[in-house]
Amino acid sequence: MSDNSIEKNMDNFIGLSAVLTGFSTEIIAPGLDVVDIKSEYLPFFTKTVTEESGDANLVNNILQEFASLKNSGLSDQQIGEAMLSLSNGDQFVLACRKLIFMWYSGAWPTIIPATEDKPASTVSNLISAKSYTAGLAWQVMQSHPMGDSNYRYGYWATPPPHSVPTQVKEHNDEKSSEL
Amino acid sequence: MKNHQNYDVVIVGSGISGSIVAYQLGLQGKKVLILEAGQAVPVDRSGYMETFFKANAKTPESPYPPTTQNPSASTPDNPLGLPDPANENVPRHTVLQVGAWRKPKQAYFTYPPQEEGLNGDSPKANFAFASSYERIGGGTTWHWLGTSLRLFPNDFELKTLYNQGVDWPGGKNFYQALVPYYEKATNEIGVAGDKDALDTLYEQFGVSQTGEYGPEYDYPMPGITESLVDQAFSASVMPLKVDGIPLYVTPTPQGRNSLPGERRQCAGNTNCIPICPIQAKYDATVTLARAQQTGNVDVLYRHVACNIRVDENTADIIGIDFLTYDTHTGIQTGSGTATGKIYVLAAHAIETPKLLLMSNKNKKCSDGVANSSGQVGRNLMDHVMYLSWALAKEPVYAFRGPLSTAGIESLRDGEFRKDRSAYRIEIGNEGWQWAANDPFTTLADFVFGQDNSQLNGNAVNQQNQPLRWDPKLPANSQLFGQQLVAALNGIYTRQIRLGFLIEQLPDPENRVELSKTEKDHLGLPRPLVTYRIPEDYVRNAFVSAKEVSTKIYNAMGATEYTKAPPAPVFYDTPDKVTATNFQYQGNNFTFYGAGHIVGTYRMGTRSDNSVLNSRQQSWDHRNLYMVGSGVFPTVATGNPTLTIAALAFQAADNILLDLAGITF
Amino acid sequence: MPLAITATPPISLASLQHDFDVFSWQSFVALNWPANADGTPNNQLVIGQSPNAPVVWQSWKESRDIFLPGGARPPAWNQTNPVPDVCKTIDPTIIPPGTIHLTQVGKTPNVLDESGEPFQTGPLIDQNGQYTRYEILTNEAMFNYILDNNLYSKSGQKTFGKDANFPASDSASGRVGAIMLKAAWVRMTGKFNPSRYHTTYALVYNNPEEQNGVKPACSLERVGLVGFHIAHKTKDEPQWIWSTFEHVANAPTKGEPRSLPAYNFFNPACTECKVNEPPPRPWNPAHPYTAPTQVERIIPITNDTKKLNQLYHAALAKAVPGSVWLNYELVSTQWPTNAKSPTDPTGAPAPAFLANTTLETYIQGDVRQTSSSCMACHNNATATNGLFSDFTYLLQRAQ
């Protein structure tokens, strides 16, 4: 794969991830990306989805499908619905859903199907120490990873000063605590 | 053989009790040796933090060695990859082992078989023990919450006042004698507390009016700021009464810095358990360092005490044998004996009785050392916990601040105590993390269309309220993008939970013995634990807790999500049996551990029904002391650590008196 | 003294890192410029001339001269401060002018050091078996802010009653903002050749408040600079810019070939020595000899920073052949990549971790919250009133 196509792949991966997670590309992969979790996720996602599906082309198909939807000028909502449409096939959709789970939790999920006495559930394996703290779940709750707070003493006595940071805001003086 | 001699005092264990005793003796110029079974206090806690960050299950023990879980060793029979305790030199009980309690290759504790023919509500049902501890330098305070409450005088007279359990030796006088030591403990830990709020509480329990809390009583730091979650409870519980007692929220005195000082100011990492990343929370390594700074305290790590030697003529202790190792699963590297004038066991309430019982080779001590009463290992207790959870009407912004900053203390005593156990109610700031493994459970539900949180299906709660988060969405919705963000944000920020710390009664049949079959890697027998909740008195408190939870949530306008546990399964394969489920009055309950392991070498007034006298000195061996929560005659109604610390200061004074009068 | 970064497009993490590193070196040169008696730069000289005479920063206010017993008001910027009682026995006529007072024994990695108990992660012992000594200093802008707002005392902080907000440097107006320094020194004895260090004479004070068992003592010593932090608050970097320099012979880097035959804090001959472990307690700087600490740098200096060090060394050598400053190198500069982040008050620092082997010896590494990160840690600093102290731990020292 050429450098150019790797970069292209990454762009599509980030674009798809943004659509599916609801967090913009500037948030999950900022221009000055100190954390750089994307560089961990793309190879992990590619390897794991390929192994689990047994389909060497699946990840490429997913990213290509996203690229063509993006080029067709659809809204993020429409792209997301199209990507998760069952017509894409079970493996395709499951991989996309696992991608969401990975970005939110930093872990890779395994679904335990329902049995007679137990409903379906999910277990997961953390990908790395970094992925745990990079999980979007902590952002969506307007907090911080448990064990990794950059806030200051007493912050817990007042509502978060910011809404869920799904987009880069021009001004950071917003007060809204609700979406 | 390595021998360590010429010490005044030999201590087994470097946790909070052992460290305090060592520090106090070291300050007085006494030469002290600490034998610590586990690894040394690390130079920096990055290693523990990294293990924590990577752990799939972030249980209280997850950061600490030996490793509690190994995903790459996962098998169908051992999905979490729990290590085999037979291969470990210092295994310990962990929360992850609770579910695997019937699998000796995964669980350190062994348990007697279930008696045949029990019903779900049988008082004879055996359960897994639900609380854990650490075997490392600094001990279990590495993963304590920090709650630093005193017990109340009435806690010391449960028998006299309510005809339940036992009194502490001397009853209220014991409390009175402990007051100056409570003050020392409060200062050593550096407790942040709101004196005015605590005064209100003491008034309710008739303490302050007589000044019994001590003339110098105050906290070295102002109280920790209450959370939004606390404020939400505080605003709603005021009109409520339980058994005639009004409910109100009290900010918890906590061993974490509200101001900058010797340690950093709390930054609300919401991670006191398993590990405070910045050591804003006190742990015993603080006191251990102070002890070592005296220049009179030596610590030997990876030294596992395995036998106590007794002089058959004088009954004095004459040495403690130990085994050494280098790595957790490596071979034994040596052995030796440590000798001093006085010996102190400070290895917490499982390993201490185990050591006493293992020391059964001495003449006249075939049942173990200090065990003429037969009480060693008996009366094992915990605060059995009832957990409930709910979604608040409006966002309260859970998952922020220390794990708990307040509680409802007003139900810790009252006339009801004749009929049911008392409890305190802890308010959690960690959403449904403990209750439902969130954020992950709810996340999986809305990504994959599952419903283990009850938020994404057709579940109704026990009050018949529908629990689906968004009635406009179909059951088992699979969301993405902004819709997922909105749902998760709305849910996570509203999550609340309560924990009821129910006072378990002392029962001699709840006990630690030695396993006859299972050993650790050093060849030492593992604990055999019998653990039951036989009394209606205790079970009644579960019924009360359940009712009170619902009452509180209703008052707040919150929706309760407490999931009724499945019915107990006592007879099936190890995978299928339940560990902590029981039935009572037609309801299914499960209990959780509070981490308060108490009572296995209790103090008392008579040598035939207790292990120690009120000086924490063995009835049988005058130069043997024991400290830690194992000395408690009852588990009482407060989290034990402050009392553990106070008792350790008191024991140190007793030991100094003995040393002053002793000539060997 | 540079007051802002000059960013060179195209902008990337690497390009900005380079720009911040240049800022660090410019600052280092300005601060280590030979000083006049009043502390101003001596424009008759260039850096490296008149070696071992006081340089600009050495006239700045030490923390012990700001936070006085009983919360007393410190003397103004250009007035001298009394020395500790035990130092008064030293005949003042033998103290060379400009002598500084080193009061903080025992290096300590940032937090605990800064919180008045600099020992809790351990002292740093040099190859002569001596304790490394530390001092923290502020520039005039920072000192004046403390003075003007009465932040030198607990009661003043209580009255102040809000978050501290030190002035920031502003290149447009030319305003110099708050700058804080931390310096590490070793005694010029035994194995150390003073010609390879920037040296000074100092009153080395054993402070009994630092550790149980330490008795007050004072001696006049020649000491050499081995570690140097610069923290500078600027308009665009409210999390401050954190530059750290070291003596080139401090310690080898883990996993890299050793380039020197001897180090300040590493013994190549010792194969048994445990790396980055403090000595056992009891700790006491009065001990005549303590087994040296075996130190290794954990996070290597990047190639780009190494190249920049070479460039500056070449320029310093050109100014003064054999300049003592050739013995100092930039380790790195930590800066906020997203200074206005609504969710991260630390501003997403780059690099994520930064340590000086003489100042954060024992917490080098790359674990969030526990490994040394200037901004992540100082973000948590507060005054005695518990309120945010604007990235300095100094305010909690007020009495």
Q: SS3 sequence, B38-75?
A: CCCCCCCCHHHHHHHHHCCCCCCCCCCCCCCCCHHHCC
In this predicted structure, the answer to whether residue C90 has a pLDDT above a threshold of 80 is no
Tokens of B539: 């079970």
Higher pLDDT, B164 or C106: B164
Q: Whole-model pTM?
A: 0.96
Give the closest-approach CA distance of C153 to chain A in angstroms.
Answer: 21
Residue B638 falls inside a structural domain: no
In a domain, C33, yes or no: yes
- Minimum distance, in Å, between the CA of residue B479 and any CA atom of chain C: 25
Mutation target vs C (from A33, A34, A37; most C CBs, 10 A cutoff): A34
User: Is residue C316, in this structure, part of any structural domain at all?
Assistant: yes
User: Structurally, how many domains does chain C consist of?
Assistant: 1
Residue of A140, A143, A135 lying closest to A164 (CA atoms): A140
Specify the number of domains making up chain B.
1
| Greater model confidence, C84 or C395 | C395
Query: Is residue B316, in this structure, part of any structural domain at all?
Result: no
Provide the domain limits for residue C181: 13-397
List beta partners, residue C242: C231, C334
Residues of C in contact with A151 (CB under 8 A): 345
Answer yes or no: is B182 within a domain. Answer: no
Looking at the predicted structure, is the pLDDT value of residue C116 above 60? no
Does residue B420 fall inside a structural domain?
Answer: yes
Q: What are phi and psi of B163, to 5 degrees?
A: 55, 40
Among B628, B652, B611, B654, smallest CA distance to B346 is for: B628
Is residue C1 a part of any domain in this protein?
Answer: no
- Which tens digits make up the pLDDT trace of B94-112? 999 999 999 999 999 999 9
Query: Are C367 and B53 inside 8 Å of each other by CB?
Result: yes
Q: How far apart are CA A71 and CA C334, in angstroms?
A: 39
pLDDT of C221 reads: 84
C-alpha to C-alpha distances, B652 to B12, B298, B338, B658, nearest whole angstrom: 14, 17, 19, 10
The b-or-e profile of B156-171 (16+ CB within 10 A means b, else e) is: bbbeebbebbbbbbbb
Question: Is the model's pLDDT at A179 over the cut of 50?
Answer: no
Alpha carbon B183 to its chain centroid, in Å, reads: 22
Nearest to B62 by CA among B48, B76, B81: B48
Q: What is the pLDDT of residue B202?
A: 86
B399 and A149 in contact by Cβ < 8 A?
no
**Residue C16 structure tokens:** 């900005």
CB within 8 Å of B572: residues ≥ 6 apart: none
- Asked if B492 lies within 8 A of A132 by C-beta distance, the reply is no
- Region A154-169: mean pLDDT is 92
Determine the Cα–Cα distance for residues A127 and A136; give it in Å rounded to an integer: 14
Question: DSSP assignment of B157-182, as one string?
Answer: BHHHHHSSS-BPTTTHHHHHHHHHHH
**Residue B136 phi, psi (nearest 5):** -145, 165
Alpha carbons C161 and C387: distance in angstroms, whole number: 8
Q: What is the pLDDT of residue C210?
A: 86
Q: In angstroms, rounded to a whole number, what is the distance separating the alpha carbons of residues B7 and B664?
A: 12
Radius of gyration of the CA atoms of chain B, in A: 24
ipTM: 0.95
Rounded-to-integer distance, Cα B296 and Cα B643, Å: 26
Indicate if the pLDDT at residue A69 is higher than 50: yes
pLDDT in tens, C365-375: 999 999 999 99
At C99 the pLDDT is 55
What does the DSSP 8-state code read for residue C368?
A: T
- Cβ <8 Å between B262 and C117: yes
A156 touches chain C (CB under 8 A): no
d(CA C348, CA C258): 33
B575 Cβ neighbours under 8 A, 6+ residues apart = B77
User: Residue B79 has which token pair?
Assistant: 């999905």
- Burial letters for C377-389: b for 16+ Cβ neighbours within 10 Å, e otherwise? bbbbbbbbbbbbb
Query: Domain range for residue B495?
Result: 222-281+383-503+534-590
User: Has residue C95 been placed in a domain?
Assistant: yes
Q: Is the Cβ of A33 closer than 8 Å to some Cβ of chain C?
A: yes
Give the C-alpha separation, C324 to B453, whole Å. 66
3 state DSSP class of B421: coil
**Residue B552: which H helix or E strand, with range?**
helix B536-556
Give residue C93's pLDDT: 63
**Residue C112: pLDDT over 70:** no
- Distances in Å between the alpha carbon of A13 and those of A78, A100, A104, A165? 17, 12, 15, 20
* Residue B214 confidence (pLDDT): 66
Provide CB contacts within 8 A for B439, sequence distance 6+. Answer: A104, A105, A135, A137, A138, A140, A141, B399, B431, B433, B488, B492
Encode pLDDT of B471-496 as tens digits.
Answer: 999 999 999 999 999 999 999 999 99
> What pLDDT, on a 0 to 100 scale, did the predictor assign at position C109?
20
Residues C221, C96: contact at Cβ < 8 Å? Answer: no
Residue B213's pLDDT band (boundaries 50, 70, 90)?
low
Of the pLDDT bands very low, low, confident and very high (cuts 50, 70, 90), residue B262 is: confident
Write the pLDDT tens digit of every residue in B588-622: 999 999 999 999 999 999 999 999 999 999 999 99
Which of B194, B234, B443 to probe by mutation at the A interface, max A CB count within 10 Å? B443
Judged by a CB distance cut-off of 8 A, whether residue C212 touches chain B is: yes
